[in-house]
Structure 1
């Protein structure tokens, strides 16, 4: 559920708030089939493959953004499980820094898989890929993110990532 913004105009923000940096935010879900393979999608607007999800809109929570994107991309309407990972990626040419949230989509039933409908203007295809082989279809940072999300799912925890690499817990004194 998207919460309506009480701000009708960005100029309604305080001077302090307007001075703060803005980050790109995206969210997606880690879906598996009955034998533990990872669902990947092939977007028409960029290379290479990725997990289902996309940009979080203004005044939308990351979880709501992931649910909306999954419905738009796959036609799946289902609740998502717990947060598996949050990944910070630094700026690079043509892109600002960003945060990506990965939720546990859980296993898809054969009926859910059969019901997947891809919008032709967004996705070319989908495939279930063995976890050890996802790196062949994903950019390195996303392959690391998926691997960390799979490990977090198996261990019942949430992973904090930087460029797809798990950030060690801070030393407690």
Structure 2
């Protein structure tokens, strides 16, 4: 099916969604994927017919073996990439995980090597800069009442004409 001129100009970004989980000390849960050389939050790509929230819940269940109700949307990050294409990334608040839920964590075999709760400094050390910025912006958004909109984890510049 051929695209008309208008459709050809429309963006077709990939969408991904993840969850931010915390411990009692306020540190963030991050996972060590087998297929990346940096740490990440639990999450992944949104599948056809799935909402970003449904994708985040599914990915948490797949990667950590736990089923949790996620809280509010914290951030929607626009992240264009020359190598992977444009992305829209949704981050949801998973809240503080109880010891009972943590005891039920079962890592996805072949995809997740481990998980740890990390301080902000450790997040920056173990992750890539754009992801660390996105995470820190979303953590800051927890104290606000509305989601934030970063671009590559940064506040967009004024684009008024």
How do 1:130-149 and structure 2 match up within 5 A? 130-149=119-138
Distance 1:21 1:167 in 2: 19
Matched, 1:106 2:95: yes
How do 1:9-158 and structure 2 match up within 5 A? 15=4, 19=8, 20-92=10-82, 94-158=83-147
> Counterpart in 1 of 2:151?
162
Q: CA deviation at 1:166?
A: 2.2
Moved over 4 A (4+): 13-18, 168-171
In structure 2, list runs of 5 or more residues that go unmatched. Answer: none
Q: Equivalent residue of 1:165, what SS?
A: coil
Q: Compute the RMSD of aligned alpha carbons.
A: 2.0
- Number of equivalenced pairs: 159
TM-score under structure 2 length normalisation: 0.90
Q: Equivalent residue of 1:154, what SS?
A: coil
> Counterpart in 2 of 1:4?
none
Distance 1:83 1:17 in 2: 31
Q: CA deviation at 1:41?
A: 0.2
